[in-house]
Structure 1
Amino acid sequence: MSEPEPVTESYAFACMMCGHGWEQSYEIHHHVDAKGRPFVTYHTGGERVPSPLTRPTCLNCGEHVVRIMRAGQVRSVESVRQRQRSRRD
């Protein structure tokens, strides 16, 4: 039996320590081990990476106090910030 096609999911992240925000998409590969138990692996840019849901790391400061949100959250906050900046200028 072949494994199903990977599923792509995207998440938004915000560091609670430094305020850095970013978004990342992951290919999620579903597998079954030798004992028949299902497990998943996460991939980004063709590389296997740790699950972003277990212990995310801030890309800016390296801390692990990171909030995970649905994709689009960082972009929407950034667009509000840009509008506010342009009004001040």
Structure 2
Amino acid sequence: MSDIAVGHEAYSFACMRCGHGWEQAYDIEHHTDARGHEFVQYVVEGHVVPSPLSRPVCANCDGHLVRIMRPGRVSSALRAVAGGQRREPRHWPLSGLLHPFQRRAS
């Protein structure tokens, strides 16, 4: 059995349908099959999961219109909202914070 190279990646996700946001870290295992072809497996908490880059699904609404961003985007947006709420109470849904990330129709 050969050694398995493992990489680590994290992403932020935002559903453009319902506004739900989340972050997830992945272990990326690099394997070689019996024929010598290389492949990767994405692993979360010991379970093999589909690639988050192929067709992410919103856990809140099962929507597939999901924006993938660099890690920390969702948590930093939520911290900004929490900071704003301390000064002036408001309810800002995550969907409102996503406005700068949404593409404009041309």
Report the TM-score when normalising by structure 1: 0.92
1:3, 1:56 → 2: CA distance? Answer: 29
Report matched runs for 1:73-84 at 5 Å: 73-84=73-84
Q: SS of 1:43's equivalent? A: strand
Aligned length: 89
Report matched runs for 1:30-69 at 5 Å: 30-69=30-69
1:10, 1:42 → 2: CA distance? Answer: 11
List alignment gaps of at least 5 residues for structure 2. Answer: 90-106
Report the TM-score when normalising by structure 2: 0.78
Output the amino acid matched with 1:50: P
For residue 53 of structure 1, report the CA deviation from its aligned partner: 0.5
List alignment gaps of at least 5 residues for structure 1. Answer: none
**Residue number in structure 1 paired with 2:9:** 9
Higher strand share: 1
For residue 7 of structure 1, report the CA deviation from its aligned partner: 1.2
1:26, 1:3 → 2: CA distance? Answer: 19
Q: Is the 8 Å Cα contact of residues 10 and 24 (structure 2) preserved in structure 1?
A: yes
**Residue number in structure 1 paired with 2:96:** none
Output the amino acid matched with 2:54: T
Q: Percent identity?
A: 52
Task: Give the root-mean-square deviation of aligned CA atoms.
Answer: 1.3
